[in-house]
Structure 1
Amino acid sequence: MTSHQTSPRFAPTALMLGNIVTGCSVLAPAGMLPELAAGLGIGIHTAGLLITFGAVVLCICSPLTAWLTSRFDRRQLLAATLLVLTLGNLGSAFVPDYAGLLALRLLMLAVGALYTPQAAGTAALISPVETRGSTIAYVFLGWSLAAAVGLPLITFIGSHSGWRAAYLAVGAAGAISLLLLTWRLPSGLKGAPVALKTWTELARNRMVVLLLLITTLQMSGQFVIFTFMGPLLNRLTGADANQVGLVFAIYGACGFLGVVIATRIVDGWGAYRTSLLFSCLLFAGIAVWTLGAGSYSLMAVAVAIWGLGFASTNSMQQVRLVAAAPPLASASVSLNTSVLYIGQAIGSALGGSLFARGWLDATGYAAMGFAMLALLAILASRPRLPVAVLA
């Protein structure tokens, strides 16, 4: 990295803020499914397809765009991505129908798929090896804040001022984030070029493949419930929009707390043990949600436990992938983001199918099954020999 006038110590915060916008762009429909359904004259299950189809586009475009843009300056690339997200959200506020909203969302996310993996790769470039784990985890704090602050605000704005106003708010946040990133991120940052043989090398790396499986299982389980969390709370407990917003806030706040704790302990504990701890919390939260279905207070407590694990587990996955194959980090992190969205697509499609059939309790048990398989896969990924802190 060449010298820059702007101090790199500000750069992780700029990257983290961009992840807030990316997270809100991806998750926004989950916070206002009833409003979207009513405003567009569609069913809740159909509105949920905004997440399912969006996840499919994200999982395809994440590695593809990482390959096509690997030689680009990171500041220019990330700024352009945020610009597209900003314009996409602002445009979503003015589309006349469901087809237009879906088309614009898919176009926006096809480009937006770049941001999260490239932000993680950029975080690795601007941080020394000894603090790389905590820096990457900090950048991913943006996703926690998207859930902690962004999603409850989207739910509140959507229920009180309409879904179009919520999209305008996300677009405004994108514009602010774009300015901050352009101001703070150093120029001249470039990762290793991603060649076609890179994907073959990753496919032959047992640890990388196992880590990608873990991400897929964890996200599949969570999105069986998360996509329809608001409608599920309404149907199972009679929760209104404000109570649903409170649960989203609990989920995100605990996610924020979980990432803060993970960031503090990962450099000392190692990413494997940190990942195992928060994955156990994730499973425990989903289990309490499932067994406490029908009780608003129990389900809120469940979301608090689950929230501690949801973002921190993904942060640890990124850290472990960077350590498993450092020269291939840009590609492996983009693949992890890709399978993360595959998990979202699988989970939201399964959750939508169960919801449409009225099998509300079954969503929890399906989520538990995925989370248990993920835990078993994490145990199988235990390092064989003493390794560095980030292994």
Structure 2
Amino acid sequence: MESPRAGRFTATALMLGNLVTGCSVLAPAGMLPELSAGLGVSIHAAGLLITFGAITLCIGSPLTAWLTSRIERRVLLTTTLAVLALGNLASAFAPDYVSLLVIRLVMLAVGALYTPQAAGTAALIVPAERRGSTIAYIFLGWSLAAAIGLPLITFIASRYGWRAAYGEIGALGCISFLLLLVRLPAGLKGTPVDLTTWSAVGRSRTILLLLAITMLQMSGQFVVFTFMGPLLKKLTDAGPDAIGMVFGTYGVCGFLGVVIATRIVDTWGPYRTSLLFTCLLLVGITGWALGAGTLMLMAGTVAIWGLGFASTNSMQQVRLVAAAPQLASATVALNTSVLYIGQAVGSAIGGLLFARELLYPLGFVAAGFVVLALILVVLSRPKRAAAPA
């Protein structure tokens, strides 16, 4: 039942919090050359900010879901955003690489809370028939992080330095914190997460299959995405503006993909919607691999890839909530955790290939992960007699 205390723009406030979270997580990908030059480290070492951050996130998401499940949601989510805002502001003043890495790990250890708890909060403020579209809408913040955040980060870092980019994210975090504090109703509490909850999750074949899909989808994408800017520079001699344009194309198409998914999921069902956008993901990444070396071809295939990247993530959240609503706090946290495992695996593999100048094989390795994900999506098709998962 919809909470009578939920304000008109509560879902939007939650979505903007995901925008801040997405920018905080993805920021290094938009300014690897500037971080490398400013901190005196290699591109590969700068990329480890994403890899180590993802490892922290994947551990922190289920752990913090367990430790904080009894905390009132407005207190929990606004505190998380405050830490993200302060962490980014502190990053702007980091004196060296090690300091920046430590600040990032501390910030993301707390920031791991936001995305799963925001999705779980959506289930508390909207009726069941609107749950799928609302969760997809809240996840739109990640699309905006790629559509608007990354191009702006690339633009600001290339002209004013990486410190200015971190400062802008910190300022956005402060604004989002205040908005959520005003719009999110007090008194919202989810089902406490305990050992029984994790045991029930582990016994569900459907949930484990969906979690594997998330990990493979993200691993494939982050093999390339982490180093997209340097790859475009090395393969096509693209400058900062062209790289920002590609990031913008990726994000705008990601935004469109989530909008389309949000519109069709309640009628198509989460499974068919997920299948559609996973296919688009595969077409886009395969196109990148085949078109590597030609800027226009790579940008065009990034547009197709973009349609699938955020919508597949949001559909995974929707399918997990629908598969076991009573376990939503745990399953959404675990989904976010394996999403970050995928980021860590993909960025680590991409970093090894990039460091060895194996630039063209990167795309084919990425496509291989997504092929495996697509196979599992087909295997996860719900039985006809059962309600769509």
TM-score, normalised relative to structure 2: 0.99
Q: 1:97-153: per-residue Cα shift (whole Å, max 9, x none)?
A: 000000000000000000000000001111100110000000000000000000100
2:78 alignment counterpart: 79
**What are the residue-to-residue correspondences of 1:273-352 with 2, within 5 Å?**
273-352=272-351
Instruction: Give the CA deviation at 1:387.
Output: 3.6
What amino acid does structure 1 have at the position aligned with 2:382? P
Distance 2:132 2:2 in 1: 22
Instruction: Give the CA deviation at 1:335.
Output: 0.1
Distance 2:64 2:29 in 1: 25
What amino acid does structure 2 have at the position aligned with 1:133? G
What amino acid does structure 1 have at the position aligned with 2:227? F
1:244 alignment counterpart: 243
Is the contact between residue 8 and residue 126 of structure 1 (CA under 8 Å) also seen in structure 2?
A: no
Distance 1:387 1:380 in 2: 15
Distance 1:385 1:189 in 2: 35
1:61 alignment counterpart: 60
Instruction: Give the CA deviation at 1:385.
Output: 2.4
What amino acid does structure 1 have at the position aligned with 2:270? A
Is the contact between residue 156 and residue 164 of structure 2 (CA under 8 Å) also seen in structure 1?
A: yes
Is the contact between residue 215 and residue 336 of structure 1 (CA under 8 Å) also seen in structure 2?
A: yes
2:178 alignment counterpart: 179
What amino acid does structure 1 have at the position aligned with 2:349? L
2:214 alignment counterpart: 215
Is the contact between residue 136 and residue 261 of structure 2 (CA under 8 Å) also seen in structure 1?
A: yes
Instruction: Give the CA deviation at 1:7.
Output: 4.1
Q: Alignment partner of 2:71: what SS?
A: coil
Instruction: Give the CA deviation at 1:2.
Output: 9.6
Distance 2:77 2:337 in 1: 17
Is the contact between residue 2 and residue 127 of structure 2 (CA under 8 Å) also seen in structure 1?
A: no
2:132 alignment counterpart: 133
**What are the residue-to-residue correspondences of 1:1-391 with 2, within 5 Å?**
7-388=6-387, 391=389
Distance 1:3 1:322 in 2: 18
Distance 1:354 1:316 in 2: 30
List runs of 5+ in structure 1 lacking aligned partners: none
Q: 1:343-372: per-residue Cα shift (whole Å, max 9, x none)?
A: 000000000000000000111010010000
Instruction: Give the CA deviation at 1:10.
Output: 1.4
Distance 1:238 1:387 in 2: 52
List runs of 5+ in structure 2 lacking aligned partners: none
Question: How many equivalent pairs are there?
Answer: 389
Distance 1:67 1:169, change over 3 A: same
Distance 1:321 1:238, change over 3 A: same
What amino acid does structure 1 have at the position aligned with 2:335? N
Distance 2:290 2:103 in 1: 39
